[in-house]
Amino acid sequence: MTKIKPGKKLKSSDQPCQAELADKFVCYQQSVQEPDHEVEVFDQIYREAFKSKALTLREDFCGTFAVSCEWAKSDKDRKALGIDICPETLQWGVENNLGKLKPRVAERVEVLEQDVRTKTTPQVDVLAAQNFSFWIFKTREEVVNYFRIAYENLNDKGVMIMDMMGGKECYATDVTDKRTIVKGKKGFKYHWEQAYFNPVNADCSFYIHFKFGDGSKIEKAFEYHWRFWTISEVREMLAEAGFSKSLVYWDVADEDEDADWQSVDKAPNDDSWLSYVVGIK
């Protein structure tokens, strides 16, 4: 449950704190998402798989569907479909992301309030499930079922792209990663709390909090209760669901350089890492 915690600096209970005035979706997009980067990665992966340009995207668990909007903006021939079950989040995206697009771009973005485990038409070139969203499925049967439906939603030349995280630091609990997103008294910080991990069944809980310049805080602005899947498990389930092969894209750039995502067969055992797992239809 989202909780507003007033800042200690407030002297009057009638004066709203920054947390009360803040929009948690704006904070989330500024802290977590890089839609232009995601579009570049999707484009690269598809070109390397099929030597052609992807034109259609389905964004599962799309939330405010910022990536779908960026996809449509990136090329006049591109169309996007966003799928999510949360009406509040979708409506925010309609008003704040879709509403800011030029009409000729906006008409190429469609959003549906429905379960991602639904077959839709037409099929797409790229199906993306980002921000570890499919980890909401906690059993192998659930994930394989989802992957099979994703497979059916792809064109004959199609790819499914998911991001993954791992490394021993990701399994630690009672740890909060804090980053300043906007500096100054009117700025805010992003707190990623690793609250729980059960090594027996890989159940885990994570929370996003936002702390503002006046000391106020949105506690548990977003919360996630997942199963922590591994790359090898996901690749096995992709094969079981019918994908012809799977690839792992790893950032091979030096720490101080821009990301350079490349398909790899092995990777360094970093304490914390991000990657993309790709299913090729």
21 burial level (CB within 10 Å; 0-12, 13-18, 19+): exposed
Residues 101 and 190 in one domain: no
Residues 189 and 83 in one domain: no
Q: Which of 182, 200, 226 is the last residue of a domain?
A: 226
Residues 255 and 176 in one domain: no
User: Residues 240, 246, 252, 257: what is their CA dihedral angle, to the nearest 10 degrees?
Assistant: -100
For 189-215, the pLDDT digits (tens) are 999 999 999 999 999 999 999 999 999
Q: Which residues contact 274 (CB under 8 A, 6 or more apart)?
A: 163, 164, 165, 251
Q: What is the DSSP string of 154-210?
A: EEEEEEEEEEEEESHHHH-SSEEEEEEEE-STT-EEEEEEEEEE-TTT-EEEEEEEE
Q: Which of 209, 226, 243 is the last residue of a domain?
A: 226
Number of compact structural domains in the chain: 2
Q: Residue length, the chain?
A: 281
Of 225, 223, 232, 64, nearest to 135 by C-alpha is 225
Residues 65 and 199 in one domain: no
Residue 28 has a pLDDT of 97
The number of helices, as runs of H, and strands, as runs of E, in the chain is 9, 13
* Rg from Cα positions in the chain: 19
Residues 72 and 204 in one domain: no
Residues 88 and 62 in one domain: yes
Q: Which domain holds residue 76?
A: 31-165+230-280
pTM: 0.92
User: Residues 139, 140, 146, 151: what is their CA dihedral angle, to the nearest 10 degrees?
Assistant: 170
Q: Which residues contact 259 (CB under 8 A, 6 or more apart)?
A: 37, 251, 253
Residues 44 and 151 in one domain: yes
Q: Which of 181, 198, 226 is the last residue of a domain?
A: 226
> What CA–CA distances, in Å, run from 269 to 3, 164, 266?
37, 14, 9
Residues 105 and 153 in one domain: yes
d(CA 277, CA 68): 19
Neighbours of 86 (CB within 10 A): 14
159 three-state secondary structure? strand
34 three-state secondary structure? coil
Residue 6 has a pLDDT of 63
Name the packing angle between helices 231-240 and 140-152 (round to 10°): 60
Residues 85 and 150 in one domain: yes
Contact at 8 Å (CB) between 99 and 90?
no
Which two tokens mark 193?
A: 């709390």
Q: What is the mean pLDDT of each run of 10 residues along the chain (281 residues)?
A: 58 77 96 96 98 98 97 98 97 97 97 96 96 98 98 98 96 94 94 97 97 94 97 98 98 88 96 97 97
